[in-house]
Chains A and B, each alone.
Chain A
């Protein structure tokens, strides 16, 4: 049974037609790149798949069960979201922010215990943040803040991770590190990542979903659909595929 499946999914926001009758069949172990120009609805589609904003029509199934029949808490155990932006108003420590990821796993009257703190510490360690765990998040740099948000997602440990531009604010070292962690840690999970870097998509993703912006979509295996032709039409620019050392890159031509 597929982990995440959509049937006749239509999503719109304002005048933008994000997808028409989208049929997806996604499985554990797959990593999907979500590509499209600015404003084609990548974030909205991520929110819809997480049940955070309603679809116009169609159905989403998680493990064969309609998403509408899950409670918010059940969804949070299955699906984790890394949002594109966060707007933290009140002070909070890095540890407190990370521990929030345990929320769906705890009962109403239960408090975070030693086990939960251990899980959070492990996530902080993976994000090189253990030394900063008592710092107020408002004193962090943009990249440290992003890693805290990722640590929270790792602590939540969902089956499906929806990542909205995860490498925002990250330096190259942490970009590669974070992408590798997602690839390695979540090997038995399903990852859907909205991206602007095609070369990251070719390197780290097994599948891709291209949003044209007019409701048309292309989805499939990354090596089959990430072609010069498709990408030139998607972004409206001239692109070339360059190969070296057995790897290949897409480079835009400026003229």
Chain B
């Protein structure tokens, strides 16, 4: 399949995911109704414009951010196993969020605490790994992984001492949950800005992905590029996670799915990651609130359920 037709498919998937998100739920609304504009006020109008589409928009932005962050992390660490959470950003965010839930603070304070925890984690990793003269991928990776292990102990501790009625909310946060998530234009603008930046640095990313020394020898200012990558990927992760909790799989799978489909060129991969990551999370979130409606399943379970078979299919299709 050519890159153009893959892009065409991605845009179609994106539109379809939004249509599904608008139509599916505990009250289903037919596509004809949605397409006819829902101009008359009423329950369907309120459902679509005030609940479902804003939530789908939030899912798209978070999914796009996670997929892009995963792609950039993989280049930064030159490790195909890297995901947005590998450097411990999610651990810091979760510790902040769980503490906020434990003390009974509202959802806005939980978001703020999660973001503060994520930022703390980013700064810790950067200072620890960057203090040395050589900022190697392995040192960065190990620093992040060790810090993540430390955060995990904290998280287990908070879960252990928390009263039963708060555990449910904490588990939802840990698995990712979009029911209270709303995004503003600023979130979309930031995602767009980093996507454009990544697109125009794609040639540098292609070369950095081959190796740091080789990239330097080919004229890339690797130190500057890696610091930029570290902070943009971490910031995207911190925002997505503070909005929606630690939604798994998207950040690891989407970049690999796209590499299997369209090759190694980041000019194609950067925008495609945002499109596919966003659409996948919109779909997952739509199913998570409609499959067992009115019960909502944490969206992280659905991203895995959708992503794992798709990914395995792509992986083995290419083997033959």
Contact = CB atoms under 8 A, between A and B. Distances in A.
B28 interface: no
B259 A87 contact: no
B209 A90 contact: yes
A168 B79 CA distance: 26
A100 B207 contact: yes
Contacts of A96: 206, 263-265
Nearest to B79: A89
B30 interface: no
A97 B216 contact: no
A74 B219 CA distance: 7
Contacts of A91: 259, 263-264
Contact of A72 (B79, B80, B220, B263): B220
A71 B218 CA distance: 11
A117 B91 CA distance: 45
Interface string A92-116: 1100110011011010110110000
A105 B165 CA distance: 62
A101 B267 contact: no
A86 B214 contact: yes
B264 A75 contact: no
A186 interface: no
A106 B203 contact: yes
A100 B203 CA distance: 8
Interface stretch (A21-29, A76-84, A173-181, A247-255): A76-84
Interface string B291-320: 000000000000000000000000000000
B211 interface: yes
A156 B213 CA distance: 15
A53 to B, nearest CB: 9
A100 B218 contact: yes
Contacts of A81: 217
Interface of A: 47, 50, 52, 71-77, 79-81, 83, 86-93, 96-97, 100-101, 103-104, 106, 108-109, 111-112, 156
Contacts of B264: 90-93, 96
Contacts of A108: 200
Interface of B: 74, 78-80, 200, 203, 206-207, 209-211, 213-214, 216-221, 259, 263-265, 267
For the residues of B in contact with A, the DSSP-based class is: loop
9 tightest A-B CB contacts, nearest first: A76-B219, A104-B219, A73-B219, A81-B217, A92-B264, A103-B218, A89-B78, A72-B221, A72-B219
B216 A109 contact: no
Given A89-B80, A91-B259, A109-B200, A52 B265 contact: no
Contacts of B217: 50, 52, 76, 79-81, 83
B296 to A, nearest CB: 37
A92 B208 CA distance: 13
A77 B219 contact: yes
A165 to B, nearest CB: 15
Given A72-B221, A75-B219, A104-B219, A93 B263 contact: yes
Given A73-B219, A76-B219, 18 more contacts: A72-B220, A73-B221, A76-B218, A86-B214, A87-B211, A89-B79, A89-B80, A89-B209, A90-B209, A96-B263, A100-B207, A103-B207, A103-B219, A103-B220, A104-B219, A106-B203, A111-B203, A111-B267
